[in-house]
Chains A and B, each alone.
Chain A
Amino acid sequence: MTRALRILASNPLSLIGLILVSGIVLAALLAPWIAPFPTHNSAVIDFAHANQAPTARNWMGTDLVGRDIFSRILYAYRISLGLGIVVLVIATPIGTVVGLLAGYLGGWTESVLMRLVDVFLSIPPLVLAIAVLGVLEPTLTNAMIAVTVMWWPWYARLVYSIARSEREEGYVLAAEVIGAPTPHIVFREILPNCLPAIITKMTLDMGFVIIIASSLSFLGLGVQPPTPDLGSMVAEGARYLPDSLWMTVFPGLAILLAVFGFNLLGDGLREVLGVDE
């Protein structure tokens, strides 16, 4: 642990990533207490303060119905992070199991599973998500389902490639020789060797999930108003460019910071965990 922190700290970029991510996570967790206008995450209207540029009262200005953009960004981080965590928590195990089985068992299982993965990977991710949301209703839960559907194949592909090379390693052969059951070999022997790569990818992916989820809500397919969401805030503000810059720029910056932070942290983790590119 101390070694990990030392490696992270020795790389200033990773350190920035760690600070950004911790800051964002804390801000999201503490939103109800630190937001200057904690009620502005819902259907509040205050036309006396509508469409105002940043002031001491509203650090990032207000939107068209007078809600504080800074407060809404804090709440929107909760949605974005929550969505990212749920998606990865569901997509990673599915992809990992598929990848492990295909990689270790090979043969017929490998062909079927990996061709299925190829089918998913051949469709542009955003298009796939839009198609899923077109069939379902646009809600937060369905947005999670849509993003999960497009995300698991990447983990399957990653774990598959590691599992395939590990299959020939001495420790796996040894386990096979002593007659260990397949589940034991797959989950107890091979999986631990895949974990560093999986954790690194999850950290890196967090940023991308946030971008995809924001893109979906930018298109009106994600979280529905009045719940704040970074993508829909950008979309709403874009109609009022260039006069009301703050409505678009601050939520846009918020997305940028989150993605940047997770990427830097992911790169740092790769070094700590010794994962190859």
Chain B
Amino acid sequence: MTRTTLLAATLTAATALTPVFAQSVLRLDEVAVGELDPAKASDYADSILMFNVYDTLVLPKQGEPGHEGHLAESWEVDGATYTFTLRDGIAFQSGNPLTAQDVVYSLERMQAVGQGLSHLFGGVAAEAVDEKTVRFTLEEPYAPFVASLVRLPIVDKALVEQNATEQDPWGEAFLSGNAAGTGAYRVTAHNPQAETRMARNEDYFGEIKDAAPDEAVLRYSLEAATVRTLLAQGEHDISSQWLPPEVMRALANDGAQLFTESGTGAFYIKLNTAKPPLDHVNCRQALAHAFDYGTALQMVAITEDVSSGSAPTGAIPVGMFGANPAEEALARDMDKAREYLADCPTPPEDWDLEISWIAEVPLEERFALLMQANFAELGISSKIETLPWALFTERVASPENTPHISQIFVNAVTGDPDTLLYGMYHSSTPGTWQSPEYLDDAEVDAALEAGRRGPGEQEREEAYSALNDRLMELAPTIYGYDRQSVFAASDRVSAPALSDPSQAFGVDGMGFSFRLMEMTD
């Protein structure tokens, strides 16, 4: 008894002595590994880290197309030359001032490291005109260049060079464990398999909401059941998008909010066009018409209002250049499927389709079963194959080893259709995880190149519209559904960029800019 009183007294004294800092903490999770090196960032976890720790020259406008200056104050375009003027008085977290040299260094480092999304910056050269002006020169015209700059985080040249060694000239070891950016959050601890802790950067040059979290903890690879329990007990704030729909639904029924980020990607069921019988267009069309689009949408619905999918209308997600209007939803048509099948040279019983699914994404197993049942109605025999991601990326390197059917979620990493479609369908890029179709079609190539060249929106719209039509004729892919990411969240946090369409960025992961979130207690 006495001891308790004493303890209580000590605690009261301690509280009275220290000023009260109500540290607000945002807790979220994603799939491992969390790659902190911005030149290697490619997936969702990496993007969350990148958009909080680093800044880019431009940002997408919220709720509308186009871009606005961020680290850059303004820019001018002259053919294939882009000249950016940097904002004054921006400093890195280290205290070093940001200069044009840092921008040049960041581009060169990205190209030299050659990982992540470095392919976006293939034929680009940069030079520092003066302290505040940087000029990019493109080898050939690339209309979405400004859009691609949202994937060029600017690193602190002086700090990285200090930590580079002869064996590691680009400081890869340093940047995989430390931050060297201007971002609104500093990294306080980082373990790529377990968690990254970040704290607010009070010297940030841009807007940070007053109620933005003081600290953010991004944990990796939590089990769905763990996230479910933590969220229900108020021990977690935002789930990853990879929770199965049933778990999201249960959380929503318990009162969790559902955040969404949409419009730049789709669920693709990719057909290997280099392997019989799918080398024949009629055989592929038979599958595309036999697939049950309606049931697919039911499977990914979470509540009556929120779903991780909306009806597909063609090869390009609704809302992008060249997309068909939302009313023209694809639907199952078994009569047409049978007609196509009759003109397919291989009889259905000899098909022996391999339907693969990625072991890390349990939802895909259900799609594999759905397809197996759908195609069986046409008398097509098939077997289901589970491929872990690492094995899958290895198998797709040659057309013979690539399964007949692969299931892939792809997003336009910059929000532009070029980054969604070029890597998927251009004949120069076969055999990556994005292109297990092995499509080789001159008309498709021409449309992709025209879309990239632009220069105006009119030309791009026409090019992608033609591409869409051609792809629907060729059916290299079954367009499963247009996808949006859904996250379950506690009521402690509000994130307008993830809940209000007029505040959305349209770039994957950017909605997780912690500086724009607000903690409510």
A-B contact count (CB 8 A): 55
Q: Give every chain A residue within 8 A of B359 (Cβ-Cβ).
A: 220
For B357, the closest partner residue in chain A by CB is A225
In the complex, which residues of chain B have a beta carbon less than 8 angstroms from the beta carbon of A240? Answer: 224-225, 244, 246-247
- Kindly list chain A residues whose C-beta atoms are within 8 Å of the C-beta of B384: 43, 224-226
Contact B225 A65 (CB under 8 A): no
A124: interface (CB < 8 Å): no
Asked if B470 is at the interface (CB within 8 A of a chain A CB), the reply is no
- What's the Cα separation between A220 and B369 when bound, in Å? 17
Nearest 10 A-B pairs (CB), nearest first?
A243-B250, A43-B372, A241-B225, A239-B224, A45-B373, A43-B369, A45-B369, A65-B369, A65-B366, A51-B246
B158 at the interface (CB under 8 A from A): no
Given contact pairs A47-B295, A220-B386, A239 touches B225 in the complex (Cβ within 8 A): yes
Name the prevailing secondary structure of the B interface residues. Answer: helix
- Residues of chain B at interface, number, CB under 8 A: 23
Residue on B with the closest CB to A64? B366
Q: B-facing mask of A34-52, CB < 8 A → 1, else 0?
A: 0000000001110100010
Q: Is A244 an interface residue (CB 8 A)?
A: yes
Besides A45-B366, A240-B246, 8 other CB < 8 A contacts? A43-B373, A43-B376, A224-B384, A224-B386, A236-B362, A238-B225, A239-B223, A240-B225
Taking CB atoms and an 8 Å cut-off, the chain A residues in 10-48 that contact chain B are 43-45, 47
Q: Which residues of A contact B (CB under 8 A)?
A: 43-45, 47, 51, 64-65, 220, 224-226, 236, 238-244
Q: Check: B370 CB closer than 8 A to any chain A CB.
A: yes
Contact of A225 with B365 in the complex, beta carbons under 8 Å: yes
Pairwise interchain contact A239-B362, C-beta atoms closer than 8 A: yes
| Chain B residues with a Cβ under 8 A of chain A | 223-225, 228-229, 244, 246-247, 250, 295, 298-299, 359, 362, 365-366, 369-370, 372-373, 376, 384, 386
State the CA gap A45–B229 with chains docked (Å).
29
**Residues of chain B within 8 A of A65, CB atoms compared:** 366, 369-370
Chain B positions within 8 Å of A64 at CB level:
244, 246, 366
User: Chain A residue with minimal CB distance to B295?
Assistant: A47
Give the residue among B223, B225, B250, B372 with the most A Cβ atoms within 10 A. B225
B369 to chain A, nearest CB (A): 5
Neighbour of B229 across the interface among A224, A238, A239, A242, CB < 8 A? A242
- Closest residue of chain A to B253, judged by CB? A243
Question: Cβ of B372: which chain A residues have Cβ within 8 Å of it?
Answer: 43, 226
Nearest A residue (CB) for B244: A239
Question: A225–B387 Cα gap in the complex (Å)?
Answer: 12
Is the Cβ of B247 less than 8 Å from the Cβ of A243?
yes
**Contacts known (A47-B298, A220-B386); A241 close to B228, Cβ less than 8 A:** yes
**Contacting residues, chain A, for B223 (C-beta < 8 A):** 238-239
